[in-house]
Amino acid sequence: MPTLDDMPPYRRAKLLWRWAHQGLPFVEQLVADADEYPCRMPAALPGPPGSTFAALGDDGRHHLVRAGHLLCGDQQSPAGRTHRQHYSWVESPSGPREWMGGRVDDGIVWGSAEVTWTVRLLGPCTDPGLVSRRERCIAGHYSLLHSWPPPPARTASVRRMRAALVDALGPDCHLCGRYPGAMVDHDHETGLVRGLLCGLCNRVLEECPHVSGCPRADYQLSPPAAGLGLVYPLGDEWRPRDSTRRRVIEQLGFDPFKGLPTRRMPG
């Protein structure tokens, strides 16, 4: 049976960091039970196979279309395809506001509503990469959010790395292969670029509790882009806030990164 100590030190630290709010015993049990609970990789997109395009709907947004079928939304009706979206907010003395995350006060008042509408397609199909985020459909299957091509990277150096990864290994996620690659993923200990990940794989990669024998664990053990020798810019390195680090240490009773080499800016 695998144990938490069987993991490479930096993966162990990141897993503890991710689940610190659950406590050390939870993380140890998570790794011990890993063989019984394999990581669930993204499912295939709904609809028939073929190229995916974007088309303008009568709601003013663009929607993903494959082989003439609208991929987003719920039920098809003569009036169009039903779309559904859930909204939530918090009430404050100055009025309702969007909840941006963080700790929740005991006295907080939540508000929510669900909106439905139907969509008919109006315009011809176009390249989804030409559609800005503000113009994209925001309803439908959650996984479809990851099917839209990513926006350009924030810095020129990361844009160059993304181009090199696409040239060498293709534009789709180098882990699941189902969605467009959106994030240049790298080892936070060494700075070496591991591959190009979709938004979903990038978010859940370090939640993987498997030592090996799982696509996510094996990706980290043998990164597809290792042979390219790309190094992620130090200036864009992940750095938690001091308040976050103190909270994690308080939750675990120790600093999971203590004694491990980390990349830091000089000074």
The domain segmentation of the chain, as residue ranges, is 1-46+142-267, 52-140
The Cα–Cα gap between 137 and 118 comes to 12
Computed over every residue of the chain, the mean pLDDT equals 86
Is the pLDDT reported for residue 49 higher than 90? no
pLDDT band at 102 (very low <50, low <70, confident <90, very high): low
Q: What is the percent of the chain where pLDDT is above 70?
A: 93
Average the pLDDT over 55-61 and give the result: 93
Q: In the predicted model, is pLDDT for residue 104 greater than 60?
A: no
Cα gap 66→45, rounded to integer Å:
10
* 16: nearest Cα among 188, 210, 248, 261: 248
- What's the whole-number mean pLDDT along residues 180-208? 92
Instruction: Give the dihedral sign, CA 192/146/211/207.
Output: positive
**pLDDT score recorded for residue 265:** 45
Give the DSSP letter string of 129-153. Answer: GGS-GGGB---S-GGGGGGSPPPPP
The span from the CA of 180 to the CA of 54, in Å, is 14
Q: What is the pLDDT of residue 107?
A: 67
Percent of the chain with pLDDT over 90: 46
